[in-house]
Amino acid sequence: MAGSALPSVANTKLTGRFAFLRQLLADGISCIFGNPGSSEENLLDALRDEEFRSLKYYLAYHEGTAVAMAWPFVKSDHDGPCAWRVVDRGSGGLASS
């Protein structure tokens, strides 16, 4: 494909984790409450990038705790947070919170 402007595979800032975090910023989200597992390691690594220094990450030991921490935050005068959860195991704990 002559003249194609496809991104280089070496450019890791075009991956889904960076796109996801950019969307959070675009939506005005300033912090993340979460209970990270191994499936979120790539996102946590991306948070170290200078581009995302304005995002604050609050660690919780359980999905329910993350929601409990986020609820008063969203009810205060702050911007809406993003409650991060594990997609597979642990979802039942979040749903019951």
Q: Which of 37, 20, 16 is closest to 88 using CA atoms?
A: 37
Per-residue pLDDT in tens (0 to 9) along the chain, 97 residues: 455 554 444 556 778 889 989 988 888 888 888 887 777 788 888 999 999 999 988 888 887 888 888 888 877 766 665 656 555 555 555 444 4
Q: How buried is 32 (Cβ within 10 angstroms: 0-12 exposed, 13-18 middle, 19+ buried)?
A: buried
- Contact predicate 34/65, CB 8 Å: no
Question: Does this model's pTM top 0.75?
Answer: no
Please give the CATH architecture assigned to the domain spanning 13-95: 3-Layer(aba) Sandwich (3.40)
Q: How many whole angstroms separate alpha carbon 79 and alpha carbon 88?
A: 28
- What are the residue boundaries of the structural domains of the chain, listed by start? 13-95
Position 4, amino acid: S
